[in-house]
A and B are shown apart, each in its own frame.
Chain A
Amino acid sequence: MSDTTPPTGQHPDAAPTPPGTPTPPTPPNAPTPPDASAPEIEQQPTWTPPLPPTDQTPPAGQVPPGGQTPPPGQTTSEQTPPPGHLTSGESTEPGTQHDQGPTHGLQPGHGGEQPSQPTAVPYPGSPRYGTHPGQTPAPPPVAEPEWQRLSWLSIPVGVLDNLASLLVIVVSVFVIGQTGNVWMLIVAPLALVAQAAASVVAYLHTRFRISGDRLEKTEGFVSRKQTNSRVDRIRTVNITRTFVQRLFGLASLDVETGSDGEQFKIVGVTHTTALALKTNLDTHPARGTATAATPGAHAPNAGAGPATEPGAPQPEPSDAHPSGHPATPNLAGGAGPAPGHTDTRTHASPASAETPDETAGILARIQPNWPWRAGIAGQGLLPAVALLGVLFGQLSAWLGGTLETWLFNNFGELWELLPHGDVGSLETVRHVATQPFAWVMFFVSIVVFLAVSYVANVITYIVTNHNFELRRINSTTLQRSAGLFSITTASIDLDRMRGVQVTDTPIRRIAGLASSRALLTTGRVTLPSLNTNRLLPWSPLATNWQVADALLHTEAERRTPLQRHGPRAARRLLIASARGSLVLTVIAVAFAWGKPAGWWVLTGVCVVFLTVLRTLHAIALHRSRGNALTAGHLLLRSGYLHQTTTVVQRRVALGVRLRQGPFQRWLGLADLHVMDTAQGHKAHDVTLGRALSLAGELTPELVDQFRVRPAINSAHHLPAPGEDSVNDV
């Protein structure tokens, strides 16, 4: 791919940073080539961008030597990025990126990245909102790091990506509609042109960078939008690559931050840039600080960090990769201490060597039998129905309508019965039910459906999870990568991890499957789950728990038997179920009123069937519920059709909320909601006594002050208003 996009040439504005640009700290050399300004930002000489991902060999040559020379000044640079950021896949590639790894972190700013040239800084005033008090005091902008931009290849890729989906639509319209639809011929090209225009605008007007402890992006032409996220609020950093993007060596970066409820998305940068950004974010001091733990890798940083920090807020994205850079002086100079470390992780393979971390390593990897087992359930039914419909239509057309004729000959009687007035008569029902052929067709079509959907499920699973691997790249970062055509690489910040949630469904339980996700905390709000925190796809239950235990160290605690919710909770579920059945019955009677007896039989059967189902579900639901509190964790299980088992650290408990509806008050039950920084954790229908004791143990200093002296109140009773002394204020 031309990925090696022409560095400078492309961007008009790309001219080397004008001297005037803000690189305050730059040492005397500043005027000299950009790189000279070591400490800061600018250094990025424009060097050629990385190569296409496919062959990422780092052309050493590419790097302009000068560019990265590590000026002495750099020493200040803080941190060498810890090694391990690459995805396993990448590991194959020569160390290119890695090498750089270290560099990036350190240099404050430069965006060595390809695309980012020292483009003129179009938007000088980066959107920097007030720094938070708590945060590292970013010294006045030392030098704002350079803005980086998308790869020009994002234009063709945007169009091609769109073309692919457009083709699917066009083809399906033609196939299903069977007659060519002229409109499609007009609309499709128009859509392509619109997409091309959008891609061009995105290319011309999107800028992004890591500035200090903020990740910034400006985009849009007509309506300009600035996004600004705190790096320390980042929960996950994902790299996604569609098939077309892979062909062109591009990637998209998805950053999930808790702060503004938005996903920070950069679509269409070179893979190397994406990797570098990810590396910088994964190893950013603002995120790393929390984890004092990692000895080896971080240590160097730590040392260096503080010093540098003041001066240079941060690691720029830029450095990324590097392809060639590795050798560059930067490393040497900047990270003095670290060089060794940095690289190490990246080279995934022999992991051990460098990392002091005993923690690095593969936690789980897809096994050949996973897809076959996972095919048992999934969304395959829809494609199956669609496929069957299309096949039927085509088959029928090719056979000149003989299929329909054949069906009509065999089913004609049924069809003829339907339009007649006596649809609901007992005779009709009996007649249909006694046609052996009807039953044969019924079962055959079910079997075909199941078979097709099974195959569709397996294919979907493989497409999504091919080469799935969950790897711990250092003590604070977990990396998940998978995909057949488009590959997703996600990293999860272990410092933000508070627990694991394992999910399964009844059908998958038969196959012994479950999937799990990490429970992450953020400083502020939590987004609805975006799947980025997923740990494992549908995989054997045992694997799920192994991973959970490895991450949470809960082997022993997990064996704690869960406390069931008791007979009163069961009664409440049955009452609710009966109430629903009653409503259903009323509706059914209203529906069948005045209709022939056949309808009464049909609706009666339906009502009985649903009532039995609901009752069974209530029982199963009750049996699945449980809770336990261990030394370090809260264990909760709930749900039947979508059963989740949550193991979460006790310390997440921030507050508690008790909810009681009328029936619950009557039965002495309550829903306990343990509030945390995310959606919290709920235990439904626990006895009030249990709810209070859980609440009391989770947050003793909070609850104890409001306890009633034992003599006054019974355990299962929240005092009614007015029962105790009250002050009007």
Chain B
Amino acid sequence: MGLRPPSHRVPIRAIWAWVIGPAAWMLVRTVIVLFVVASAPYWDVPAETMDWLHPPLGLLWVLVPLLIGLLEMVVRPWVKYRVYRWEVTETAVYTRVGFITSVTTLAPITRLQDVEVAQGPLDRLLGLAFMRCTTASDTIVVGRIDATLAQQLSDRLLATIGADTSDAT
């Protein structure tokens, strides 16, 4: 009765993508906040109205985002790695994503309309690619997988889609 999970996990190096991405954002956020906090004393504003920005209270504004960012870097990638699964068979795309709310999707290849493979700079560095498929009304996220594999898969899927002449309705 039950469904077995999709057979493939994302490659473990995808974790780096999930770590480095948020880390970069965290850095940017921290720098901005730091700049604001550090420059606050020089603003032409009555100091007492800006108490919340001055150290020591002002440091909270730096530390809290830092903490959140760290959590995002440490916990989230592992959870994602454990949860994300995908499989592409001769006839179907089968994926599972989501941790708190898990979403399992099954779609026939013949009804796909588009396959998208995207690579950010980080992905290129790690040899990964983000793949997702589109049906008439939905997007099915396969996830970050090996770039070469993604290319092969996408070629294969597109060939199948192209061969099918119906209008995918």
B19-27, B29-37, B93-101: which lies at the interface: B93-101
Say whether, besides A661-B100, A724-B5, A525 and B137 are in contact (CB < 8 Å). yes
Separation in Å of the B122 CB from the closest CB of chain A?
19
| CA gap between A680 and B106 in the complex, in Å | 14
Interface string of B78-110 (1 = CB under 8 A from A): 000011010101011010101011111111100
6 A-B residue pairs with Cβ-Cβ distance under 8 Å, sorted by A, are A523-B136, A657-B104, A677-B168, A678-B137, A716-B2, A728-B10
Interface residues on B, range: 35 or more
**Most chain A CB neighbours (cut-off 10 Å) among B2, B10, B106:** B2
Contact A729 B149 (CB under 8 A): yes
Say whether, besides A525-B137, A675-B137, A655 and B5 are in contact (CB < 8 Å). no
Separation in Å of the A599 CB from the closest CB of chain B?
31
Interface residue ranges, A against B (CB under 8 Å): 133-134, 232, 521-526, 654-662, 665, 675-680, 688-689, 692-693, 695, 699, 701-703, 705-708, 710, 712-729
Provide the residues of chain A in CB contact with B101, threshold 8 Å: 659-662
Interface check B111, CB cutoff 8 A: yes
Interface check B151, CB cutoff 8 A: no
Q: Given known contacts A713-B1, A714-B1, what 10 new A-B pairs fall within 8 Å (CB)?
A: A522-B169, A523-B169, A677-B169, A702-B92, A706-B4, A707-B3, A718-B102, A728-B8, A728-B9, A729-B146
Contact B108 A707 (CB under 8 A): no
Interface check B17, CB cutoff 8 A: no
CB < 8 Å neighbour of A677 from B1, B9, B137, B149: B137
Contact A655 B12 (CB under 8 A): no
Provide the residues of chain A in CB contact with B83, threshold 8 Å: 721
CB < 8 Å neighbour of B11 from A657, A693, A716, A728: A728
Contact B5 A721 (CB under 8 A): yes
| CA gap between A208 and B166 in the complex, in Å | 29
| CA gap between A719 and B82 in the complex, in Å | 13
Interface residue ranges, B against A (CB under 8 Å): 1-12, 82-83, 85, 87, 89, 91-92, 94, 96, 98, 100-108, 111, 113, 135-138, 140, 145-146, 149, 165-169
Provide the residues of chain A in CB contact with B100, threshold 8 Å: 661-662
Q: What residue of chain A has the Cβ atom nearest to residue B136's Cβ?
A: A677
Provide the residues of chain B in CB contact with A657, threshold 8 Å: 103-106, 138
Separation in Å of the A176 CB from the closest CB of chain B?
42
Provide the residues of chain B in CB contact with A658, threshold 8 Å: 103-105
Contact B11 A654 (CB under 8 A): no
Say whether, besides A699-B108, A718-B104, A708 and B9 are in contact (CB < 8 Å). no
Contact B7 A523 (CB under 8 A): no
| CA gap between A699 and B3 in the complex, in Å | 14
Q: What residue of chain B has the Cβ atom nearest to residue A522's Cβ?
A: B169
Say whether, besides A699-B106, A705-B92, A729-B145, A679 and B137 are in contact (CB < 8 Å). yes
| CA gap between A721 and B5 in the complex, in Å | 7
Provide the residues of chain B in CB contact with A660, threshold 8 Å: 101-104
Separation in Å of the A705 CB from the closest CB of chain B?
6
Separation in Å of the B4 CB from the closest CB of chain A?
5
Provide the residues of chain B in CB contact with A665, threshold 8 Å: 102
**Most chain B CB neighbours (cut-off 10 Å) among A655, A659, A680:** A655
Provide the residues of chain A in CB contact with B10, threshold 8 Å: 728-729
| CA gap between A586 and B140 in the complex, in Å | 39
Contact B8 A706 (CB under 8 A): no
| CA gap between A707 and B1 in the complex, in Å | 6
Q: What residue of chain A has the Cβ atom nearest to residue B84's Cβ?
A: A721
**Most chain B CB neighbours (cut-off 10 Å) among A657, A695, A701, A719:** A657
Say whether, besides A526-B137, A702-B91, A715-B1, A655 and B107 are in contact (CB < 8 Å). yes
Provide the residues of chain B in CB contact with A524, threshold 8 Å: 113, 136, 168
Query: What total of A-B pairs shows CB separation below 8 Å?
Result: 161
Provide the residues of chain B in CB contact with A707, threshold 8 Å: 1-4
| CA gap between A716 and B1 in the complex, in Å | 8
| CA gap between A725 and B7 in the complex, in Å | 7
Contact A680 B138 (CB under 8 A): yes
| CA gap between A232 and B167 in the complex, in Å | 10
Separation in Å of the A724 CB from the closest CB of chain B?
5
Say whether, besides A659-B102, A679-B137, A721 and B82 are in contact (CB < 8 Å). yes
Contact A726 B5 (CB under 8 A): yes
Provide the residues of chain B in CB contact with A654, threshold 8 Å: 107-108, 111, 135-136
Provide the residues of chain A in CB contact with B6, threshold 8 Å: 706
| CA gap between A714 and B94 in the complex, in Å | 20
Contact A729 B9 (CB under 8 A): yes
Separation in Å of the B47 CB from the closest CB of chain A?
32
Q: What residue of chain A has the Cβ atom nearest to residue B138's Cβ?
A: A675
**Most chain A CB neighbours (cut-off 10 Å) among B1, B8, B92, B103:** B1
| CA gap between A717 and B4 in the complex, in Å | 10
Provide the residues of chain B in CB contact with A712, threshold 8 Å: 2, 4
Separation in Å of the B138 CB from the closest CB of chain A?
5
Provide the residues of chain A in CB contact with B8, threshold 8 Å: 726-729
Provide the residues of chain B in CB contact with A232, threshold 8 Å: 167
Provide the residues of chain B in CB contact with A689, threshold 8 Å: 1
Provide the residues of chain B in CB contact with A662, threshold 8 Å: 100-101
Contact B2 A708 (CB under 8 A): yes
Provide the residues of chain B in CB contact with A703, threshold 8 Å: 3, 106
Separation in Å of the B130 CB from the closest CB of chain A?
14
Separation in Å of the B120 CB from the closest CB of chain A?
20
Contact A655 B111 (CB under 8 A): yes
Provide the residues of chain A in CB contact with B105, threshold 8 Å: 655-658
Contact A717 B2 (CB under 8 A): yes
| CA gap between A715 and B100 in the complex, in Å | 21
Separation in Å of the A703 CB from the closest CB of chain B?
6
| CA gap between A713 and B5 in the complex, in Å | 11
CB < 8 Å neighbour of A655 from B3, B108, B145: B108
Q: What residue of chain B has the Cβ atom nearest to residue A233's Cβ?
A: B167
| CA gap between A115 and B12 in the complex, in Å | 66
Separation in Å of the A679 CB from the closest CB of chain B?
7
Say whether, besides A718-B2, A728-B12, A729-B11, A702 and B108 are in contact (CB < 8 Å). yes
Contact A705 B136 (CB under 8 A): no
Q: What residue of chain B has the Cβ atom nearest to residue A664's Cβ?
A: B101
Provide the residues of chain A in CB contact with B167, threshold 8 Å: 134, 232, 523
CB < 8 Å neighbour of B169 from A521, A675, A722: A521
Provide the residues of chain B in CB contact with A723, threshold 8 Å: 5
CB < 8 Å neighbour of B165 from A133, A678, A726: A133
Q: What residue of chain B has the Cβ atom nearest to residue A656's Cβ?
A: B106
| CA gap between A142 and B92 in the complex, in Å | 42
Closest 3 CB pairs of A and B: A655-B107, A677-B136, A713-B2
| CA gap between A717 and B5 in the complex, in Å | 11
Contact A655 B169 (CB under 8 A): no
Q: What residue of chain A has the Cβ atom nearest to residue B85's Cβ?
A: A721
| CA gap between A526 and B102 in the complex, in Å | 26
Provide the residues of chain A in CB contact with B145, threshold 8 Å: 729
Provide the residues of chain B in CB contact with A718, threshold 8 Å: 2-3, 5, 102, 104
Say whether, besides A657-B106, A718-B104, A676 and B136 are in contact (CB < 8 Å). yes
| CA gap between A195 and B75 in the complex, in Å | 59
| CA gap between A695 and B87 in the complex, in Å | 18
| CA gap between A658 and B2 in the complex, in Å | 12
| CA gap between A133 and B113 in the complex, in Å | 13
Say whether, besides A677-B169, A678-B137, A721-B96, A726 and B85 are in contact (CB < 8 Å). yes
| CA gap between A710 and B138 in the complex, in Å | 31
**Most chain B CB neighbours (cut-off 10 Å) among A526, A688, A705, A722:** A705
CB < 8 Å neighbour of A525 from B82, B108, B136: B136
Contact B137 A726 (CB under 8 A): no
Contact A714 B108 (CB under 8 A): no
| CA gap between A708 and B106 in the complex, in Å | 15
